[in-house]
Structure 1
Amino acid sequence: MAGGAVASAAVDSGINTLLDPRRKWYNNRRIIALNGWIVLLLITSSTNGYDGSMMNGLQSLPQWQNYFHHPSSSELGLLNAIQNVGGLAAYPFAPYLSDGIGRRPTVFIGAVIMTIATALQGAAQSSGMFIGARFLIGFGLTFAANAAPMLVSEIAYPRYRAQLTATYNSLWYSGAIVAAWTTFGTFKINSTWAWRIPSVLQGLPSILQIVLIWFVPESPRYLISKGKNEKALDVLAYYHGDGNRDDPLVQYEFNEIKTAIEYDRTVAANVGWKSLFATPGNRKRMRIIIAIAFFSQWSGNGLASYYLNKILDDINITDSTTQLLINGILAIWNLICALCASAMVERLGRRFMFMFSGIGMLVFFTAQTIAFSQFLMHGQPAAAHSVIAFIFLFYACYDVAFTPLIVAYTVEILPYPLRAKGFNVFNFTISLALIFNQYVNPIALVHITWKYYVVYCCWLAVECVFLYFYVVETKGLTLEETAAIFDGEDATNEILGNGLNAVDRNEKQPDSPSLDEKENTESLERA
């Protein structure tokens, strides 16, 4: 943990003191514009959330059930899991596109594929066509979901980077809300349009991205990695320094990024897939990343996320309208909890939030298990109501860390040369975990009912132990400083030292500062 101490000390005298206290998101038109473009990237997560909630809602629609001849539990598993199978097929290509042609073009390619796929899904004439369309949705989503969160973290203004990156995965529930209430609204349509309308609407976020993505700035880190230093400096200056290339913050970020990328290329030799596990620092990163990816899907949340209607059937809540209402309200509850947690990441810290989430999930999932077993053994209505209450409380705890932090934390602990590949491993792990959940959960719920919950109770206890021993705090650090924690003091000192030296050299230039520059300097000194 020595590297963390060094980085924390350096950042106190580094980037935080370079942030102009007058430059806020609400009074700076360039930061407002930047955050607007970031929102366009954040809705990639909404597409993913829409899918899970839509499939939950469709299973409660008699029109969908009748059209596809009442799929069995194993068929339902395939219908849900096929999207992630499509994602697996795209994983070998996604990081090479993100690093090779840029973040923006990769998002565009993913959006085009998803738009075509959702049109096919809405026009499906058979279960085979529906399954094929969902495969394509997963294939396209992988490209967009690989590039979008990285671009968010790499262009965000430093003061808001953590909150915005955490918001990315939190907006999963915004898509879930739209899907849940869309299926509720189309429930009374007495035709196949009851499920075709929700299927087609899944493509709206992708259409917006196709039209607007080219207005989003490209990642300065990507531009510098390709030798386009002047373009990178222009992006940083325009959005982070009010157009001033000599702004101390802009110079610090520019030189810190250059130094970090050069260090990873030469000193650390971070190239290729083997490099993900080649050094102690990288192995530590991957251990954490793979673990939280599995935890995000194997914490019992997969039961209600994809098979809420099955759980409600088991506790004798079989009315389709009631099921759709609970699905819609749960999505709103999750979004509120996740966005509140996203706003607190820099105050509470990653480690505290992960521990709070793990312990809270263990407590409320255990309570849910007890209530579920009591209803199945004794048929008590109060036990059924308790199951629903504990589902909501469980998700409140899940949303503290495992909704906002898993993407943000993964992106911020990876150095630039490894970011696309490491994030791809994260997404690949999630897809593997989801495929297992989507196949196994419906079958297990049918055959062993509440006893299946005990497995997750034990697993949640294991998660808490892992989180306590391995999660590293990264609160208040830049992407380069966070990555340096894992590689020791030498990397930290070199990266931070070069950034601060560049600022010192810039401040010693003989040219007379402009009036605006004088005001900035006086403001920074007061801060």
Structure 2
Amino acid sequence: MRSLYFYIVVLIVTNTANGFDNSMMNGLQTLSYWQDYFNHPRGPTLGLFNCVMSAGALTGLVILPFMLDHFGRKICLVFGSLFMLLGVALQSGSINFSMFVGARYILGFGDIIVICTAPLLITEIAPAQDRAILVTIAGATYHSGAFIAAWTTYGTLKIKNEWSWRAPSLIQGVFTLLMLAVVWWIPESPRYYVSKDLPEKGLQVLAYYHAEGDELDEVVQLEFTEITTAIAMEKNAEHSSSILDFLRTRGNRKRLLIIVSFGLFSQWSGNGLVSYYLNLIMDSIGITDANEQLLINGALTSFSLVTNLFFSFFVDRWGRRPIMLISSAGMLVAFVVWTALSAQYDAHASSSLGSGVLGMIFIYYLFYNLKSGLIASYTTEILPYTMRAKGYTIMEFAMYIALFFNQYVNPIALENIHWRYYIFYCCFLAVEVIVIWAVYVETRYVPLEEITRLFDGDDVAAATNVEMEKVQESGKGLTTAVHIERAA
């Protein structure tokens, strides 16, 4: 069990690299040496610097479901990590605009493969009692990377040459190297083994990491039976395992609506303004000193890290749906006040109004951080195994479409219509509250293989019970056969 939790911690850290990159790009825009080296990019050019990573991620998402289902989780982690290291090397050594942009495309391609695979594997190997908290923390570690990058760029501000921006780029590769060093010992998903008709390997993984190797342990037997039952039912269904499955039943259509909307909500809630263009917002309220901007960036990422980790431990106590409703409603109120204060600052240029905008940004992020860790845990929970990789990819695809739009359009909109652009996010947040209230399902305390009941109703639950009896017998037979073989 201690080994398993160590491996899960390594998987959790994978999202740190993603958070590091986003915050690093925020910080680099404040560094004069980066601005001078790339000729002070503005508008569409600045948007391209950021959005090209999302373009790479969208490319990676095209092949990801096939790789996850056919080669397993571990191969995907290795494959993505190698591309990330290549991107980091090229970005750190960039000598012109084209090389920097190309490096970020490669980095985005590898990054999306790693950050999609890690939460799936955590979901499928973690003990049931800690699954939700661990996957939520995995989502929250985005802010640990942002925290490290923010203070790294603040420190490199004192370097009076190109290494003020090359050094942070190079440090980004540390987290990926850690993954590559440990991934060979991380267990493969037992659900993957069962799906590939290797149930004995799946049982061995569950027994070794959840019960000190005791394959007859009641918890292990229950987990193994639920996994084999669910996967057997999905394989015996009257359709193939494809993305079209999301359109075939009412329950799956509801899953599709939730995962697509959650992906959009994660980036179109206004957070993209601060994540990549905090310096532009600070400029608009009279805070133009580079040192002060980097300090604010560091303080905001520190605040986000602490609040995210704190809230991660309450996902089971408070429930998923209440957290998401309170979070979205709180963001809406904070953003409306933020917009009103920005409009007043534009008219009167009062320093107190600028301070008010800064305060509302922190309040906004308090509510945003309440649910941001749920993106990974809630999405993986509501999807059955054969749809989990494809469904998580669809969610990430929706997220990166929104992110690509934000990264490219935000600097153009901020430059041309200033605070009026915030009105779009106020309206979208209102829609977000309505959709969560009307559609989202509570999954607190429901075992991973039984959440299907909440979407597909009692008919599927009844079918599960019938199939369960058959699989229980086959499971007992397999366990007995394994023990006889080992004794011989």
Q: TM-score, normalised by structure 1?
A: 0.88
Of residues 450, 460, 463 in structure 1, which corresponds to 2:419?
Answer: 450
C-alpha change, 1:244 and 1:501, in structure 2 (3 Å) is: farther
C-alpha distance in 2, partners of 1:37/1:91?
A: 25
Within a 5 Å distance, the mapping from 1:196-215 to structure 2 comes to 196-215=166-185
C-alpha change, 1:178 and 1:498, in structure 2 (3 Å) is: same
Q: CA deviation at 1:147?
A: 1.3
Within a 5 Å distance, the mapping from 1:18-37 to structure 2 comes to 30=1, 32-37=2-7
The yes-or-no answer on 1:279 pairing with 2:245 is: no
C-alpha change, 1:357 and 1:365, in structure 2 (3 Å) is: same
Residue type of the alignment partner of 2:191: R
Of residues 341, 350, 354 in structure 2, which corresponds to 1:380?
Answer: 350
C-alpha distance in 1, partners of 2:252/2:149?
A: 39
C-alpha change, 1:498 and 1:245, in structure 2 (3 Å) is: farther
C-alpha change, 1:455 and 1:349, in structure 2 (3 Å) is: same
C-alpha distance in 1, partners of 2:293/2:470?
A: 61
C-alpha distance in 2, partners of 1:208/1:497?
A: 45
Moved more, 80-89 or 40-49: 40-49
The yes-or-no answer on 1:189 pairing with 2:159 is: yes
Within a 5 Å distance, the mapping from 1:355-394 to structure 2 comes to 355-394=325-364
The yes-or-no answer on 1:459 pairing with 2:432 is: no
The yes-or-no answer on 1:479 pairing with 2:448 is: yes
Q: CA deviation at 1:89?
A: 1.2
User: Would you say the 8 A contact 2:42–2:411 is kept in 1?
Assistant: no
Q: CA deviation at 1:503?
A: 7.3
C-alpha distance in 2, partners of 1:506/1:201?
A: 48
Q: CA deviation at 1:504?
A: 10
User: Would you say the 8 A contact 2:51–2:404 is kept in 1?
Assistant: yes
Of residues 415, 425, 434 in structure 1, which corresponds to 2:384?
Answer: 415
- SS across alignment from 1:468: helix
User: Would you say the 8 A contact 1:252–1:499 is kept in 2?
Assistant: no
C-alpha distance in 1, partners of 2:198/2:302?
A: 43
Per-residue CA distance 1:148-191 (angstroms, 9 max, x = gap): 11000000011100000111110000110111111011101111
Per-residue CA distance 1:64-101 (angstroms, 9 max, x = gap): 00001101221110000000000111111111111111
User: Would you say the 8 A contact 1:480–1:495 is kept in 2?
Assistant: no
Q: CA deviation at 1:122?
A: 0.3
Residue type of the alignment partner of 1:41: L
Q: CA deviation at 1:301?
A: 0.7
Of residues 94, 99, 104 in structure 2, which corresponds to 1:129?
Answer: 99
User: Would you say the 8 A contact 1:256–1:496 is kept in 2?
Assistant: no
Partner of 1:113: 83
Q: TM-score, normalised by structure 2?
A: 0.95
Number of matched pairs: 478
C-alpha distance in 2, partners of 1:301/1:256?
A: 39
C-alpha distance in 2, partners of 1:314/1:397?
A: 23
Q: CA deviation at 1:505?
A: 10
Residue type of the alignment partner of 2:156: T
C-alpha change, 1:219 and 1:340, in structure 2 (3 Å) is: same
Of residues 76, 95, 102 in structure 1, which corresponds to 2:65?
Answer: 95
Moved more, 427-436 or 265-274: 265-274
Partner of 1:5: none
Partner of 1:492: 461
C-alpha distance in 2, partners of 1:429/1:290?
A: 6
Residue type of the alignment partner of 1:255: T
Residue type of the alignment partner of 1:492: A
> Unaligned 5+ residue runs, structure 2?
481-488
Per-residue CA distance 1:439-471 (angstroms, 9 max, x = gap): 111111111111111111111111111110001
Partner of 1:234: 204
RMSD (Å), alpha carbons: 1.7
Partner of 1:9: none
The yes-or-no answer on 1:345 pairing with 2:315 is: yes
- SS across alignment from 1:243: coil
Q: CA deviation at 1:498?
A: 5.5
Residue type of the alignment partner of 1:226: K
Q: CA deviation at 1:119?
A: 0.8
The yes-or-no answer on 1:73 pairing with 2:14 is: no
C-alpha change, 1:283 and 1:62, in structure 2 (3 Å) is: same
Residue type of the alignment partner of 2:279: N
User: Would you say the 8 A contact 2:258–2:440 is kept in 1?
Assistant: yes
Q: CA deviation at 1:283?
A: 0.6
Residue type of the alignment partner of 2:391: G
The yes-or-no answer on 1:434 pairing with 2:395 is: no
Per-residue CA distance 1:333-379 (angstroms, 9 max, x = gap): 11111111211010000110010011100011111111111111111
Residue type of the alignment partner of 1:114: M
> Unaligned 5+ residue runs, structure 1?
1-29, 512-527
Bigger proportion of residues as helix: 2
Q: CA deviation at 1:496?
A: 5.5
Of residues 262, 266, 275 in structure 2, which corresponds to 1:296?
Answer: 266
Partner of 2:439: 470
C-alpha distance in 1, partners of 2:464/2:179?
A: 35
Residue type of the alignment partner of 1:80: N
C-alpha distance in 2, partners of 1:50/1:506?
A: 45
Per-residue CA distance 1:34-82 (angstroms, 9 max, x = gap): 1110111112211111111000000000010000110122111000000
Partner of 2:485: none
Of residues 33, 50, 55 in structure 2, which corresponds to 1:85?
Answer: 55
